[in-house]
Chains A and B, each alone.
Chain A
């Protein structure tokens, strides 16, 4: 028999011969009976008018909804996008470290979240994470700063040269190229330098020049002299004195025929350049000439 012949039979698509063959088959009577009975089959009643009426009601309310919803849906999308943007920005910014920095001839004062104070000397950079401040008081420092630490958890200052940690005190940290000095003015400071920890009680200093730990003079004042606009040195190579001079006055220092390792003891003003130049040159027996943007130091006997 032909493929799907039952379907073709119902659709009157069988040829006479095929039909005759089908009629001879045993099952034909049954099929005919089924089709006969199915003639009187009816689907459940469907009220077209009611359906159309219900539909129009549904359509009206959906039309209203459409008009009302579309603009607000659009606005909601924009609002959602803006909210996400703000939230993301907020989290990004709050996860960034707080950073303060000073340029040459600049100085700034930073009050930390726990009311500890930091005075930042010229050409220095201080950063800390405000978000984590409650868990750990960690700062990183490049340059020089004076800390007045409020009592609390361990307070740590990380520098390239070493880390300094305290509980609550006043201390000065200077970390410059080749020069690292910590001075404790109050309380107790612990300095970790190259894996060795040293306790600095009040009134002591720790100094490293070019990797060598040197005996440091005990500070006489209750705060570093730079706080009072004076840079003070005790047996410090001239090289570092000139570096500090450059930082305080934002001026270029050149030297001619001068021993930069010569030790200098004294101080110079951070506010009066002529006075400062005299303070440096007179005890070291060198001469200087001040030009617009630079200072030349030269030996007295040099040409």
Chain B
């Protein structure tokens, strides 16, 4: 059976999960530097415990370590999201449309920041990282139903914020 202590196995776990671990911590706390440190910490811990952690558990192991690292320690900061400017490339849109779109993105940013961190994390993991609900459930260590609930509430709250309801 594959062993996490083997360099190849470990590297493949690192490559396929480190970015998501980084994003996951960033979505929660809004601090890039801390998110980067969390990735390092989580994988060092995984390496130290490689003999005890079976490969199929390695993934949830690193998310748990990364999350626990800042649990109750780090105060959530403002999450600053970037937008891929697709519109600029095909920019034969009117300035009014572009302005409106810019305003809408600002509203969305504010709304995202006002979400509870667990709703924001689920929403962004799904929207940006394309993670399925089942996978997010594994990361967060809860059931799929709970993730669906968070996703539903996230979208509902975003709309209420943006539409000013």
Q: Tell me the A residues contacting B by CB distance below 8 Å.
A: 3-8, 10-11, 27, 30-31, 33-35, 37-44, 46, 48, 51-52, 54-55, 58-59, 62, 66
B133 and A11 contact, CB distance less than 8 A:
yes
A30-B162, A55-B40, A66-B48 given; A48·B15 CB < 8 A: yes
B83 and A7 contact, CB distance less than 8 A:
no
A42 and B83 contact, CB distance less than 8 A:
yes
Q: How far is the CA of A4 from the CA of B126 in the complex (A)?
A: 15
Contacts of B39 in A (CB 8 A): 51, 55
**Distance to closest chain B CB from A73 (angstroms):** 14
Which 9 A-B pairs give the minimum distances between C-beta atoms?
A7-B151, A4-B152, A7-B148, A4-B148, A6-B155, A42-B82, A6-B152, A7-B152, A43-B23
**Distance to closest chain A CB from B11 (angstroms):** 7
B22 and A38 contact, CB distance less than 8 A:
no
Q: Tell me the B residues contacting A by CB distance below 8 Å.
A: 11, 14-15, 18-19, 22-23, 26-27, 32, 35-36, 39-40, 43-44, 47-48, 80-87, 101, 104-105, 108, 123-124, 126-129, 132-133, 145, 147-149, 151-152, 155-156, 158-159, 162-163
A7 and B163 contact, CB distance less than 8 A:
no
A41-B124, A52-B15 given; A4·B83 CB < 8 A: no
Contacts of A5 in B (CB 8 A): 152
A37 and B82 contact, CB distance less than 8 A:
no
A58 and B84 contact, CB distance less than 8 A:
no
24 contacts between A and B (CB under 8 A): A4-B145, A4-B151, A4-B152, A6-B151, A6-B156, A8-B148, A11-B133, A34-B162, A37-B101, A37-B104, A37-B105, A38-B127, A40-B86, A40-B87, A41-B128, A43-B81, A44-B26, A46-B19, A48-B15, A51-B39, A52-B11, A55-B39, A59-B44, A66-B48
B148 and A48 contact, CB distance less than 8 A:
no
* Central interface residue in A3, A31, A43, A52, by most chain B CB within 10 Å: A43
A62 and B129 contact, CB distance less than 8 A:
no
**Distance to closest chain A CB from B27 (angstroms):** 8
Q: How far is the CA of A188 from the CA of B8 in the complex (A)?
A: 93
B40 and A42 contact, CB distance less than 8 A:
no
Q: How far is the CA of A59 from the CA of B50 in the complex (A)?
A: 12
Q: How far is the CA of A27 from the CA of B164 in the complex (A)?
A: 12
B82 and A44 contact, CB distance less than 8 A:
yes
Give 4 A-B pairs besides A6-B152, A35-B127 with Cβ atoms closer than 8 angstroms: A7-B147, A41-B128, A44-B82, A46-B18
Contacts of A41 in B (CB 8 A): 81-84, 124, 127-128
